[in-house]
């Protein structure tokens, strides 16, 4: 994928989450079963950075449970961050993850985080190049033997979600402009919107982990009526 197409897809998603952030947040008031499973594995004395934190529910739950170490959530969507700000004991910042590899301020210090999470976010990042920039930065931010936990949407496992796939000409792109696994999906709550998403396979994620200098230590499916709409993985730096 060329950089012009990648930037076009990023713009589509920025516009979507800035326009529909409130409606999207309203549909995400409960933590997914897979995220709850991850919650049980996080000790109270480890620092956690949540990339693409959305409305902050994951970090809010950690705080409510009496988490004792630093909790930081970053996202680019101001409507979502406004909802997140009500979480006590958690810091939130506006950050565009597509620029994470460029440098992100004082909090982005090498070897500074025990755990970094990225739930339902990487699938909105286009192109292998931008994904790897982010993932290599994640590795730099993690402490030795740090843990990166991510989930990615498996929307092709749902007939209902597959029916929302739209042709690329709706946004002025052609099939040949995109990579395998790239899709345009519609949104129908509070108005009609469009957003970009990528369907990852476990093998594709394994390749990204290896290129980023990390290793996959756990992988499982969860969420949705069939328990298969989210692919969760745990990566380690050591």
CB under 8 Å, gap of 24 or more: what pairs does 106-110 form? Answer: 107/49, 107/72, 108/137, 108/141, 109/141, 110/140, 110/141
The structural domains of the chain, ordered by start, are 3-236 (3.40.50.150)
State the pLDDT at residue 220.
Answer: 96
Total residues found in the chain within this entry: 238
Q: State how far the alpha carbon of 214 is from the alpha carbons of 47, 144, 238, in Å.
A: 19, 11, 7
State the pLDDT at residue 159.
Answer: 93
Strand, helix or coil for residue 237: coil
| CA-only gyration radius of the chain, Å | 17
State the pLDDT at residue 53.
Answer: 86
State the pLDDT at residue 191.
Answer: 73
* pLDDT mean values, one per 10 residues, the chain (238 residues): 93 84 55 92 94 87 91 78 68 81 56 90 94 92 94 94 94 94 88 91 95 96 93 93
Q: What is the pTM of this model?
A: 0.89
Per-residue pLDDT reduced to its tens digit, 46-78? 999 999 888 788 998 999 889 999 999 888 766
């Amino acid at each position: 994928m060329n950089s012009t197409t990648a930037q076009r897809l990023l713009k589509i998603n920025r516009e979507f989450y800035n326009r529909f952030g409130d409606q999207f947040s309203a549909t995400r008031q409960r933590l997914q079963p897979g995220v709850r499973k991850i919650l049980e594995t996080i000790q109270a004395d480890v620092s956690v950075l949540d990339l693409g934190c959305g409305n902050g529910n994951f970090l809010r739950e950690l705080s409510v449970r009496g988490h004792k170490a630093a909790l930081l959530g970053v996202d680019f969507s101001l409507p979502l961050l406004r909802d997140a700000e009500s979480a006590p004991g958690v810091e939130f910042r506006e950050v565009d993850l597509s620029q994470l590899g460029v440098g992100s301020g004082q909090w982005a210090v090498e070897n500074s985080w025990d755990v970094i999470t990225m739930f339902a976010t990487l699938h909105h990042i286009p192109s292998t190049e931008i994904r790897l920039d982010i993932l290599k930065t994640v590795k730099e931010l993690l402490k030795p033997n740090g843990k990166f936990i991510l989930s990615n949407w498996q929307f092709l496992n749902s007939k209902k979600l597959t029916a929302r796939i739209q042709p690329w000409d709706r946004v002025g792109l052609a099939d040949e402009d995109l990579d395998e696994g790239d899709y345009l999906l519609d949104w129908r709550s509070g108005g009609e919107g469009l957003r970009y998403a990528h369907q990852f396979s476990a093998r594709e994620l394994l390749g990204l982990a290896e290129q980023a200098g990390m290793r996959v230590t756990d992988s499982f499916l969860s969420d949705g009526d069939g328990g298969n709409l989210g692919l969760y993985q745990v990566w380690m730096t050591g």
